[in-house]
């Protein structure tokens, strides 16, 4: 190996060691500076100097004021998310069927239900869409029908709808369960959360 090559390699090795040493020195200096800043930050009510610097960028120099701002921002974010959800959800997610009875009419082929619908929304709704599932004594599902009750409910109220004809069903039906699937509060909205399980009852005597 030529002398020039050896010198070149030596310079590279020494340079690498020097660079690593410089990086370590910088790191130690930064840590020392941070350690020196922390007591001042803690005294001002911050968790560390980084939080204090972030607050300073917002024009805040007191830890209590910074924590108050963080809390306010969090509550505002929660409120915004709640408003977004309320603006996009199906009102039926806060509605349920209670005290349901049913019978078979129309020469043994039509389902007739009487059901109390609870509206837990803060606003009135109309055009309540229900789905009713009819099954045999063994539990086998025989019919699934949907029906829209073209009426209204006030906000946070319960109303009973009697003798609702939901359409043709299997004449061997012995049990039924209905649930609220849709409701209108213009504009029509799509479901955003799972709907309550249907209330299932036996055939009305």
| Same domain, residue pair 124 and 153 | yes
Buried (b) or exposed (e) across 81-106, using 16+ Cβ within 10 A?
A: eeeeeeeebbbbbbbbbeebbbebee
Are 119 and 153 a contacting pair, CB within 8 Å?
yes
Residues in the chain: 205
In which domain, by residue range, is 43 found? 3-87
| Rounded Cα distance, 112 and 169, in Å | 10
The DSSP secondary structure of 143-172, one letter per residue, reads: EEEEEEEEEEE-TTEEEEEEEEEEEE--TT
Examine the fold and report which residue of 62, 87, 112 is the final residue of a domain before the chain moves on: 87
Confidence band for 197, pLDDT divided at 50, 70 and 90: low
| Same domain, residue pair 106 and 189 | yes
pLDDT digits (tens, 9 = 90+) for 28-64: 454 445 555 677 777 778 787 788 888 889 888 887 8
| Same domain, residue pair 129 and 78 | no
107: left (phi over 0), alpha (psi -120 to 50) or beta: left
pLDDT at position 125 is: 92
Is pTM beyond 0.75? Reply is no
Counting the structural domains of the chain, the total is 2
| Same domain, residue pair 69 and 111 | no
Examine the fold and report which residue of 67, 87, 107 is the final residue of a domain before the chain moves on: 87
Confidence band for 132, pLDDT divided at 50, 70 and 90: very high
Q: What is the mean pLDDT of residues 84-89?
A: 72
**CA angle 198-196-90, nearest 5°?**
120
pLDDT at position 24 is: 56
pLDDT at position 188 is: 44
| Rounded Cα distance, 141 and 109, in Å | 15
Are 182 and 92 a contacting pair, CB within 8 Å?
yes
Examine the fold and report which residue of 34, 56, 87 is the final residue of a domain before the chain moves on: 87
pLDDT digits (tens, 9 = 90+) for 164-179: 999 999 999 999 999 9
């Amino acid at each position: 190996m030529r002398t020039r090559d050896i010198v070149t390699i030596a310079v590279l090795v020494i340079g690498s060691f020097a660079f690593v040493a410089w990086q370590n020195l910088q790191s130690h200096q930064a840590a020392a500076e941070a350690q020196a800043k922390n007591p001042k930050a803690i005294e001002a009510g911050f968790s560390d100097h980084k939080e204090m610097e972030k607050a300073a960028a917002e024009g805040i120099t007191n830890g209590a004021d910074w924590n108050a701002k963080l809390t306010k921002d969090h509550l505002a974010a929660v409120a915004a998310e709640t408003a977004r959800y309320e603006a996009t959800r199906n009102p039926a997610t806060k509605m349920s069927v209670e005290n349901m009875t049913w019978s078979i009419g129309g020469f043994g082929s039509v389902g007739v239900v009487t059901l109390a619908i609870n509206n837990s929304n803060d606003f009135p709704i109309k055009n309540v869409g229900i789905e009713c599932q009819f099954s045999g004594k063994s539990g086998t599902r025989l019919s699934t029908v949907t029906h829209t009750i073209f009426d209204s409910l006030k906000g946070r109220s319960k109303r009973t709808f009697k003798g609702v004809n939901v359409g043709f069903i299997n004449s061997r039906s012995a049990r039924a369960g209905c649930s609220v699937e849709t409701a209108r509060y213009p504009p029509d909205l799509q479901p955003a959360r799972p709907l309550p399980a249907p209330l299932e009852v036996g055939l009305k005597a």
